Amino acid sequence: MGTAAETRAKVILHLDMNSFFASVEQAHDPSLKGIPMAVAGNPKERRGILVTCSYEARALGIYTTMTVGEARRICPDLVIVPPDFEKYRIASTAVFTILRSYTELVEPVSIDEAYIDITAIGGLTDAVNIASGMQQRILKELDLPCSIGIAPNKFLAKTASDMKKPMGITILRKRQVEALLWPLPVIEMHGIGKSTEKKLHTLGIYTMGDLANADKVKIKATLGKNGLRLQKRANGVDHRPVDPEAAEERKSIGSSTTLPVDETDLDACLEVFKWLSIKVADRLDKNQLAGTVVMIQIRTADWRNQTRSRSLLNPIYKVQDIYKEAVDLFQKHWDHEPVRLLGVTVTNVVPMNELHEQLSIYNFEKHAKEDKIDGLLTQLGQKFGEGSIKRGNK
């Protein structure tokens, strides 16, 4: 009974590869299976950082963001291998190819996770069979484990995929939110990091239930529009569609303008950059994105185009940060030729609510090279926290 209604209701999967880099290494070298092993950016350096580790290593208390030295103190026999990004990209492409054999409604979120809308190919009636089929094919064809969450929206699907790892399939219904999610501390909620947790604590909000039932005016005053989005999610509400094009669109957000005159005045150019930065920041906010590369475009009166960019350690999205980087690039590279067009673009963007989970090996190693290990570990500890080690069971 009610099958048609169930089929019409949105059914979204969140597929999360388990301990992805380590699992790919194990698939390539079976001797690494069943033992404590990890992937580290610089295995020979005691201060190199673990990017991921096997479940056997996790069982001993080893976790992502630990240094090689710390991990070896816990397990002297820990096998550590260097990362091979080409290998991981090939494996990721193979996973997404399998997912797209079911439906085109696949939205990659990162190298090792995706949302899939299965409403039209079976909905809730067939959801477990579809999820199980995907999971078994990925295991059989690629020798890689994954966990899948099944829910009526993205937020609940992502939350569900974390509930059982490795090789879990979990259904999370909206009616279960109050019983299962509301008792959890707010830091357990996707999209909330340590700084947001602190702000919520100042409002007397400690659990997801507190957030769900809090005063909207206070939430908005403290956290802005994002606070209201988080409150909706704490109530199990999330209307974001699964968008196969989103990954492409996410790569960059920019704005440019042709000037009314060929401009030679620095202050006038800086005013244009301020306006462009506001437009880019507004679009980033609307799409809830942040990026780690700022690029400017300069076209001179004689139609010569040049672009200059800068990579940043931390993703940015605020007007003042975008403006500061753009102006700095402009002042360093402008040769005082008359300017006809200016542009600002933020690239390498990621969803804001994924930021605390998107700390990739690239970020780890950049920090390490700049001798900021201690500060980084503090930062990562704040973002991942001891309690979030289970959240990091990828």
Beta bridge partners of 40: 50
Q: How far is CA 360 from the centre of its chain?
A: 9
SS3 content of the chain, % helix, strand, coil (to 5): 50, 25, 30
From the annotation, which residues make up the binding site for Mg(2+)?
16, 112
Distance CA 290, CA 351 (A): 7
Beta-carbon contacts of 357 under 8 Å, excluding residues fewer than 6 positions away, are 190, 392
Distance CA 272, CA 262 (A): 13
Q: Is 370 a catalytic residue?
A: no
- Would you call 44 exposed, middle or buried from its count of C-beta atoms within 10 A (0-12, 13-18, 19+)? exposed
Residue burial 239-268, b: 16+ Cβ < 10 Å; e: rest: ebebebebeeebebbbbeeebeeebeeeee
Evaluate the omega torsion of the peptide bond into residue 166 and state whether it is cis, within 30 degrees of 0.
yes
Task: Tell me which of 25, 70, 104, 113 is the catalytic residue.
Answer: 113
154 close to 175: Cβ distance less than 8 angstroms: no
Q: Angle, nearest 10°, between helix axes 266-287 and 319-333?
A: 140
3-state SS assignment for residue 59? coil
Q: Tell me which residues are annotated as active site.
A: 113
